[in-house]
Structure 1
Amino acid sequence: MVLNLDFLTSDDNPETNEVSTSSRDGELCLRFDVPSGNEFALPASGVREVMSVYFDRITPIPNASPFFLGTYNWRGQVIWVADLGQFLGDRVLVNTDQNEVSVLIVEEQELVMGFAVHTVANTEWLDIERVLPPDRQIPAAMKSYVKGVYSTGSDKPELRLLDQVAILRSSQWTI
């Protein structure tokens, strides 16, 4: 499974092939959940690819941080793949007994990393005006990685908008 965002071309210049991930209505975000069922979103501008990866293609690295599932050869570049839910403090781990796992390839400048998640839901324009500052109900381990909480206006739990830059640059990624 690969999510292709190429259909979201900018209206300002039809001759360019750039992806437009912001508008007056909000910011384009990728919604997903981790194995515990907690739902999150990442700005689509930082997500390079969404793919389904066979676990036997992820090479475990002995004595690495417990967050890491291993390394993966993504388009000729070796990148780390981590259990994003576990990194954020969830106690439910990605199920490594299944054949495949959904991986979000996230990039920020020179840093590229894969985040294993349970399910990728969809992309959605989030109205930035409805994003509230993180409240005290967010676990301490997760608080510095949450930009804000998006009020869905329904009976579903609020959606936590993550800061991919803070996650990628975290000091917790010790090998």
Structure 2
Amino acid sequence: MVGKPDFLTGRGYDDQASEFQELESPEGELHLRFYISSGSEFALPATGIREVLAPSPDRITPVPNVSPLLLGTLNVRGRVVWVADLGQFLGDPVPLNTDRPEISVIAVEDQDIMLGLAVDRIVGMEWLDIDQVQMSTAAPDSVAPFLRGEWVLNGQDSQFLRLLDQIAILRSARWAA
């Protein structure tokens, strides 16, 4: 780039500047969208996510005599992280299929507690308007304590994108069961 004549003389700058002006700043907050095994879609705020992993199932070590919600532990750069089936935690009757090459794991953290939430499929990151979040009226009782609200995607078909509270999930008494 430094060797280009345009860089040294400043020619071509106006063309590039107009391209940058066309970019719009995103509105809302950044969220990670994903699905659990039953096909329900959820989101977590990006600020609460430590990282997203895709380990093979043999990297998750099963641990006997623990909650059935826990799939086992995963070594993440020398740190032992518990991995849980998020769908089962939320009361989903369909267990996560672990018979596949990779399992999508969302590592959430609060203070010194890190937990891996295994999900069926990750959609990706998206800017969502937090002002459009509504309180849920149709959420199952097993999910309600962990919701911040929901976005209505299609009111006629009852399609919702539910916003989870990762701190409530981490601090839940369900892990002791």
TM-score, normalization: structure 1? Answer: 0.82
Structure 2 CA distance for aligned equivalents of residues 94 and 103 of structure 1: 11
1:145 aligns with 2:174: no
Q: CA RMSD, aligned part only?
A: 1.7
In structure 2, what residue type is equivalent to 1:151? V
1:90-129 equivalence runs, <5 A: 90-129=92-131
Residue 97 (structure 1) shift: 1.8
- Residue 24 of structure 1 deviates from its aligned partner by 8.1
Higher-Rg structure is 2
What displacement does 1:125 show?
1.0
Deviation at 1:126, TM superposition (A): 1.0
Q: Which residue of 1 aligns with 2:72?
A: 70
Q: Which amino acid aligns with 2:116?
A: G
Shift of 1:96: 1.8
In 2: Cα distance, 1:102 partner to 1:129 partner: 29
Paired amino acid for 1:106: V
2:94 alignment partner AA: V
- Structure 1 letter corresponding to 2:141: A
SS at match of 1:144: helix
1 CA distance for matches of 2:98 and 2:29?
Answer: 33
Cα deviation code 1:53-99 (max 9, x no counterpart): 11111110111101000011011100100000000010111112223
**Cα deviation per residue 1:82-138 (whole Å; 9 max; x = unaligned)?**
000000010111112223210001111111010000000011111111100121x11
Structure 2: give runs of 5+ residues left out of the alignment: 1-24
The structural deviation recorded for 1:156 is: 7.5
Displacement over 6 Å in runs of 4+:
none
Residue type matched to 2:46 in 1? A
The answer for the alignment partner of 1:16 in structure 2 is none
Match of 1:7 in 2: none
Identify the residue that residue 172 of structure 1 maps to in structure 2. 174
More helix by share: 2
SS in 2 for 1:149: strand
| Counterpart among 155, 158, 161 of residue 160 in structure 2 | 158
Contact 2:30–2:127 under 8 Å retained in 1? yes
Residue identity opposite 2:153 in structure 1: T
Structure 1 portions without partners, runs of 5+: 1-22
What is the TM-score when the length of structure 2 is the normalising length? 0.81
Identical counterparts, % of pairs: 53
Match of 2:83 in 1: 81
1:25, distance to aligned residue in structure 2 (A): 2.4
The 2-side partners of 1:24 and 1:128 are apart by: 12
Corresponding residue SS for 2:176: coil
